Homo-oligomer: A and B are copies of this chain.
Amino acid sequence: MPSEPIFDVVQLAHIEMYTPDMAGSLRYFTELLGMQISARDSDSVYLRAYEDFYHHTLKLTKRDLAGLGHCSWRASSPQALERRAKAIEVSGQGKGWIEGDLGHGRAYQFETPGGHRMEVFYEVEYWRCASEQKTRLLNRPQKRPLHGVPVRRIDHINLMSPNPDADAQFMTDVLGFRERELVMPDDAPVRVGSWLAVSNLAHDIAFVMDTSGMRGRLHHICYWYGSPQHAYDAGEMFQEQGIPIEAGPGKHGISQAFFMYVIEPGGNRVELFADCGYLVFDPTFKTVKWKMSEVPGRADAWVGQAFPWSWWNEGTPRSNRKEPVMVPAPALAEAAE
C-alpha cells in the first residue's frame, strides 16, 4: 500500500509582513480594508479581519524594506506539531523552537529552500471582541465593520522563489501539502509556479519563480471577500483613495478565484479574493499542469486581461529591474492565440 496522506498541518494562521510606512500601511488595512488592531508592541501592530477567529492574522512590523517577516501554520494537534517539528529537523531546514508570540504558544521555526521563514504551532489564542462588537450571528467573532470595504478573513500567501521545484518538494514531503496546480515552460520540466494546499482551498500557498537573484521575497498576501461586488467596491475605493491597482478585478484560471491586486502604501502587493474559486475535496486530486504558453489571459486571468510585466517579475523587497525578464506577457499572449 502507498504511504498515507499527512494531515498534520491544517491552516495558514498568520503572516508577519514588513513595512517601511507603518502609518500608511495601518491606514490601508484598518480604514480601507476594515481590519481590527488587536495588539501593538514596540515595532509591530497585530491585525485581524472581522471573520478571523484568532488573535491576529497579520503582524505588521516596521522595517526599512517591505517584504515577508514569516508565515505561520497551525498543526491539528500537539502530536501533529511534534511530528512535523521532527520531520523538519530531519530535512535540515529546521531552526528550532521559540516560546511563542502574542496570540500563540510555542512554535517550531524553519526556513524553506527558497529562503522564506516559517513556523508551525498548535496552541492558539482566540479573539474576544468587546461587548459592543458582539453580534447576534453566533458563528461570527464580531460585527461586520462599518467602514471601508471590510475583508472577511485571511486566505493565502504567495512567495517568490529562485527554485519553486525545491519549495514544492519540501512543502509536500515534509509538511504534507498537496500540489494543486503548477506552471512549467513549454519545453522544460521545471516549475515556474506551484500552488499548494493543506485545506480544501485551491491553495494556501504558492511559489512563483524569482529570476532577480534575490531570496525570500514576498509576492503577495491575500485576504478574502465572499462576493465579486466587493472587489468592485474596493476598486472604486482604491481609485478614489490613491491606492494603485496592479491587475484585475478578474477571474483567475488557476484557482478559478475572483481576484484583484493592489499595492499597499508600504509597497507590498495585496490580493483580494472575492469568491472562493473551486474547492478540492478529492484526496487523490491530480495536479493540474499548465504550460507557460497557456498562462496569459487564461491561467492568470480566465476572464479579464492578462497580467502586466510587474506582476510576473516584482515582489518585496523590490528588485527595481526595468527590463522584461521572465514573462513578457504581451508576447506570450500573442503566442497563445
Contacts and interface: CB of A to CB of B under 8 A. Distances in A.
Contacts of A135: 240
Contacts of A148: 146
A1 interface: yes
A228 B282 CA distance: 25
Contacts of A299: 138
B228 A303 contact: no
A303 B251 contact: no
A276 to B, nearest CB: 4
A284 to B, nearest CB: 8
A5 B304 contact: no
Interface string A129-144: 0000001111110011
A11 interface: yes
Nearest to A229: B229
Count of chain copies:
4
Interface stretch (A70-78, A264-272, A312-320): A70-78
A4 interface: yes
Contacts of A304: 235, 248-250, 304-305
Contact of A77 (B77, B254, B283, B288): B283
A222 B305 CA distance: 20
B302 A239 contact: yes
A199 interface: yes
Interface string A250-291: 110111101000000000000000011011011111001110
Contacts of A230: 229
A305 B214 CA distance: 29
A243 interface: no
A228 B303 CA distance: 13
Contacts of A12: 281
A290 B284 CA distance: 36
A165 to B, nearest CB: 20
Interface in A12-59: 12, 31-32, 51, 53-54
A78 B51 CA distance: 36
Interface string A193-229: 0000001111000000000000000000000001111
B11 A281 contact: yes
A181 interface: yes
Contact of A232 (B78, B288, B303): B303
A186 interface: no
B236 A303 contact: yes
Contact of A5 (B54, B76, B140, B279): B76
A226 B76 contact: no
Contacts of A74: 281-283
22 contacts: A1-B79, A2-B77, A5-B7, A135-B240, A136-B239, A136-B240, A137-B239, A138-B253, A138-B290, A138-B294, A139-B202, A139-B253, A140-B256, A152-B278, A153-B278, A199-B200, A226-B276, A232-B251, A235-B302, A236-B251, A249-B304, A275-B276
The 10 closest A-B pairs by CB, nearest first: A229-B229, A235-B303, A11-B281, A7-B7, A276-B276, A76-B283, A305-B305, A200-B200, A143-B240, A139-B288
